[in-house]
A and B are shown apart, each in its own frame.
Chain A
């Protein structure tokens, strides 16, 4: 495989700015391009500044890493890119916290993040920052080298930079960045002098680094929004209508107002609006806020409300799944999303047709840190402190609710105790902003676990009927026909598209009121569950080894153009290499004892490729044990292998949890299993004992690792169960079918 040439499209006129502080430190500000804009628009708009780096005279360095952190390690990865190109000594670098997120307004007066790339989502942060961070680092390095060269009256090209020093190899002398910093700040470097390193020259990237925040975390330091306090803030909790779309019928207002510490009892209106993945959804439930001097007093007040509700919907998730089954099984006309080749002819002339139906329930997010937000809405300015994946949306929301200019809103972004897509929603922000605006005092809103699961925007439930046609042991036709709560299959352009030329995807619209939203690799785990389970069933039907069958299926190994927001191409050879690497680690060919089996599955997700092999045992009395797992990922250049392995381990476990246990159930319009007592969640004893990971160096530029490890897990589990005991599971949650 030949990696594509990496394009450098930095507009040099808008590149970094350097200045000197009173204390003699070099301050560097580095722009990042706004997200999702054409190259031309980027060049025009990248006139503001993002990453802040300070080089102090004592040679220590500080970096403000602006990308939101929710456990995906961008606070470590981003600085590694910059520091390596700068030849910084990593041990002299401190990565700072809590700087407010800067905003701007675009030409249309719409509020945006001043730096388009600080949001976290879609596994895009590394990709979006890669070129710019390297250019910035190389530019600063050149400024320092030129300054040293001027002092020594030498050519800059005869000097080298290493570990925060500029070194003169011939004269055996060196000078620290800190010493050079103040004067280097005044240097203007010619663009043609800026040379990016070759991979062989990297000293920080490509090697394992631990989390920038590891020490703070193991010492229990208050890093999260829920740990924040704010002067004069009142504490609010909100009793929300348990059933979708319900209104307040009655509650005990006077009694609660009379309780110690309770200051306000405020009705919160219901709000329904268009919401991803499409259609009107309840984005705020009707509620009753209890605002008190302390969180404890507010919680006591909430208990005493004795609220009653009326006019809720009767949504029932089990009935909706029944309806989805009926739709995909029948011959009703569905919306054709893709119809390529001649699918009907392929089926008509096939040697063998398999027709199977796969199911998944609603997945809850259950971010470990319950939602919380501090809002201080003043007369013409505001401060919001919270953990949110897209901070400029927070400021925009303040503008929408209060009319305060979004540029006068200070958003302080805290580390998130998990995001998984759910912290891109604004409900908890809206509540705090609305309350503070109303009572003219700072307010902190805190949710409980039950609030979180009841008011989740779930990953849609889906029933997927897959028909596949084999001829001469090759797949000649594929039809994916599905119904789901909301939205559509996001992965329909991924394999089997292109590899199977007679290919159809069709979908039924649903009338559910259950709100859905982005959930780590949205709808892609279910896609892999259906596709990779069917591949396994086809391999067994054809009498082929499941690994060999997949490798054969993906040939010829080549790149295909695709229409997808996160990727323009997909490469069957890169996918195949992941299967092979995971299988090699698992020692795929080695026979396992009776009752033990291996399952393999892979998936392309947003630019990266991942495959997993899982080993399970199923006992005579139906006890399922997850033993070991082996994974392989091709995410292009591996900036920090340690954290790529960590995401592979955690993402795979998250996917296994989804396949085994994650099953939010709605009855009479309300979520019935709204805490970890009734919504089971994977624990250490159920997870594989070990997960070994291979990182494939395909020579491509880096792509994301937050989501890609997760999708293969469900199918790998189902396929491993089949290999262990001959039972084919086509319905999640899989724990319903076994003892575990």
Chain B
């Protein structure tokens, strides 16, 4: 028996004896994808956020077994091309959001999920969706960048 899922558009298989390992540690330690960050280990802070079928999940509390058949996206897989970053990443650069930068992979993926569901989010939508902790307190810029990304995505769609 193996656990099979798609990671950043590529198939991945894991031995079933890792069923209880959180996805976070499988990504970081087994696959050596270090963009997904460990910070609380209890699903509170969101530094480990990845997308599972487009939904933001805290990978530190998601058992590997529960990824069976899912499409997982991490920060490494967000831009399809090194030269063409995702509109959310572009907005993050435009607004120059990060300070220490440690939580930002998770913030960016949370924003991607929000904008997929709600392309023109209100402040209340942003409040409800962006629940990740930023220890440096970059929240004002995160809010700005989410709005800037919404504009960029709209421009792309037109």
Contact = CB atoms under 8 A, between A and B. Distances in A.
Real complex partners, A and B? Answer: yes
Interface of A: 70-73, 210-211, 213-215, 217-224, 226-227, 229, 294-296, 366-370, 415-419, 448-450, 642-643, 646-647, 649-654, 656-657, 675-677, 681-685, 687-691
A449 B100 CA distance: 17
Interface in B21-68: 21, 25, 29, 32, 34-42, 44-45, 47
Nearest to B109: A220
Q: Label chain B's interface by main secondary structure.
A: loop
Interface string B77-98: 0110000010001001100101
Given A221-B35, A649-B137, A651-B137, A675 B44 contact: yes
A677 B46 CA distance: 12
A651 B35 CA distance: 25
B85 A685 contact: no
Given A296-B29, A649-B138, A368 B39 contact: yes
Given A71-B100, A647-B99, 4 more contacts: A368-B102, A369-B37, A415-B101, A687-B139
A450 B41 CA distance: 9
Nearest to A224: B102
24 contacts: A73-B99, A211-B96, A213-B101, A218-B98, A218-B108, A220-B36, A220-B78, A221-B35, A223-B101, A296-B29, A368-B47, A368-B133, A368-B136, A417-B101, A642-B96, A646-B138, A647-B99, A652-B137, A653-B137, A654-B136, A677-B40, A682-B133, A682-B139, A683-B133
B101 A71 contact: yes
B34 A222 contact: yes
Contact of A681 (B123, B128, B133): B133
A368 B42 contact: no
A687 B105 CA distance: 20
By Cβ-Cβ distance, the 5 closest A-B pairs, closest first, are A220-B35, A653-B137, A71-B100, A417-B102, A220-B75
A449 B39 contact: yes
Contacts of B126: 684
Interface string B132-150: 1111111111110000000
Given A214-B96, A367-B135, A657-B137, A689 B123 contact: yes
A448 B44 CA distance: 13
B102 A369 contact: yes
B42 A675 contact: yes
B127 A676 contact: no
Contacts of B103: 368
Contacts of A73: 99
A413 to B, nearest CB: 14
B2 interface: no
Given A296-B25, A366-B135, A214 B98 contact: yes
B41 A449 contact: yes
Contact of A676 (B45, B89, B92): B45
B144 to A, nearest CB: 9
A593 B148 CA distance: 31
Contact of A650 (B41, B104, B138): B138
B143 A684 contact: yes
B130 A684 contact: yes
A646 B127 contact: no
Contacts of B92: 214, 218
Pick from A370, A450, A685 the residue with the most CB of B within 10 Å: A685
B77 to A, nearest CB: 9
B131 interface: yes
B45 to A, nearest CB: 5
Contact of A415 (B76, B100, B123, B138): B100
Contacts of A369: 37, 39, 100, 102
Contacts of A71: 98-101, 136
A677 B44 contact: yes
Contacts of A687: 137, 139-140
Contacts of A223: 101
A443 to B, nearest CB: 15
Nearest to B100: A71
Pick from B38, B85, B103 the residue with the most CB of A within 10 Å: B38
Contacts of A643: 96
A217 B78 CA distance: 13
A662 to B, nearest CB: 11
A690 B140 contact: yes
A211 B98 contact: yes
A178 to B, nearest CB: 25
Pick from B37, B39, B133 the residue with the most CB of A within 10 Å: B39
Contacts of B131: 683-685
A688 B141 CA distance: 11
A675 B40 contact: yes
Contacts of B44: 675-677
Given A218-B92, A369-B39, A418 B104 contact: no
B139 A684 contact: yes
A231 B125 CA distance: 46
Contacts of A370: 38-39
Contacts of A650: 99, 136-138
A653 B140 contact: yes
Contacts of B99: 71-73, 646-647, 650
B137 A219 contact: no
Contacts of B133: 368, 676, 681-683
Contacts of A677: 40, 42, 44
